């Protein structure tokens, strides 16, 4: 797949799936704007892409701040003139990221807010920040990272699970908003992915966790013209975990 001349914004691009997605887009010819709350790491990730011949720049964005998402969209236009893809990778389970192992009924409100704000509100903000540009261009693709947890539920990450369920509905609504303007939206909901060693412990029917590249390959396919008839749908990529009985 060639993305030559295309422009991609990736959130959560300082590590894991976001960083690998940015590297893949750049290797396939796209210009990429990497965004992440971790300024030093996202600058370093953009530098790695530039050092290998790709076109990339970076901006620190906390997706919980609408003004920062708008600033990122404006930077993409200023640097590259258009926005073809938005890949919303920023996120994570609040109990893990906030290092709070308490049960839901004892969670501090700050932890609840982090889970909902980063995993759902931040995605809404970033979509709001780019959709007008995509509608004006009469083209664009938004890919939102969900999770199998958004389908299964989770007693250990209740807000993450609620937010990831919400992402499926958000994606359908974005597809409805964008359809008549040539803008598509899809949700990619992985099971365990080896961006972290610990994910190997989460069981799947295929007996393993996904390699990050397997998830990125689906994201790239959904962004490509080969997926031109696909919008509004959620893609579980979970090694059969959601078949049940795990």
- Residue 135 or 199 with smaller CB distance to ligand NAD: 199
Query: What is the per-residue DSSP string for 155-201?
Result: SS-HHHHHHHHHHHHHHHHHHHHHGGGTEEEEEEEES-BTTSGGGGG
Stretch that binds ligand NAD, among 85-93, 101-109, 168-176, 224-232 (CB under 6 A): 85-93
Contact between residue 185 and residue 128 where contact means Cβ atoms under 8 Å apart: no
**How far is it, in rounded angstroms, from Cα 46 to Cα 58?**
6
Binding mask 137-166 for ligand NAD (x = CB under 6 A): --------x-x-------------------
- Residue positions counted in the chain: 246
Q: Does residue 80 carry a catalytic annotation?
A: no
Work out whether 123 is an interface residue with ligand NAD (CB under 6 A).
no
Residue 84 CA: distances (Å) to CA of 5, 42, 224: 9, 20, 11
Work out whether 113 is an interface residue with ligand NAD (CB under 6 A).
no
* Residues in region 28-67 near ligand NAD by CB under 6 A: 36-38, 61-64
Stretch that binds ligand NAD, among 22-30, 99-107, 185-193, 229-237 (CB under 6 A): 185-193
Smallest distance, ligand NAD to C-beta of residue 125, A: 10
Work out whether 213 is an interface residue with ligand NAD (CB under 6 A).
no
With contacts defined by CB under 6 A, how many residues of the chain interact with ligand NAD?
Answer: 28
**How far is it, in rounded angstroms, from Cα 237 to Cα 148?**
8
**Active site (catalytic) residues:** 160
């Amino acid at each position: 797949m060639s993305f030559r001349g295309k422009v991609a914004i990736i959130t959560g691009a300082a590590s894991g799936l976001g960083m690998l997605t940015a590297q893949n887009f750049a290797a396939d010819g796209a210009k990429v704007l990497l965004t992440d709350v971790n300024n030093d790491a996202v600058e370093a990730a953009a530098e790695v892409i530039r050092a290998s011949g790709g076109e990339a720049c970076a901006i620190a964005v906390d997706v919980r701040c609408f003004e920062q998402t708008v600033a990122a969209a404006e930077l993409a236009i200023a640097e590259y003139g258009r926005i073809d893809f938005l890949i919303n990778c920023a996120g994570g389970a609040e109990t893990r990221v906030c290092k709070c192992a308490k049960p839901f009924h004892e969670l501090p409100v700050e932890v609840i807010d982090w889970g909902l704000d980063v995993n759902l509100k931040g995605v809404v903000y970033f979509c709001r920040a780019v959709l007008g540009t995509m509608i004006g261009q009469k083209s664009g693709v938004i890919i939102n990272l969900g999770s199998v947890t958004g389908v299964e539920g989770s007693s250990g990450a209740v807000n993450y699970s609620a937010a990831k369920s919400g992402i499926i509905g958000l994606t359908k609504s974005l597809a409805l908003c964008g359809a008549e303007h040539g803008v598509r939206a899809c949700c990619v909901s992985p099971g365990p992915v080896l961006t972290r060693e610990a994910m190997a412990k989460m069981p799947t029917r295929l007996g393993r966790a996904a390699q990050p590249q397997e998830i990125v390959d689906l994201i790239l396919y959904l962004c490509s013209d080969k997926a031109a008839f696909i919008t509004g749908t959620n893609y579980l990529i979970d090694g059969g975990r959601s078949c049940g009985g795990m």
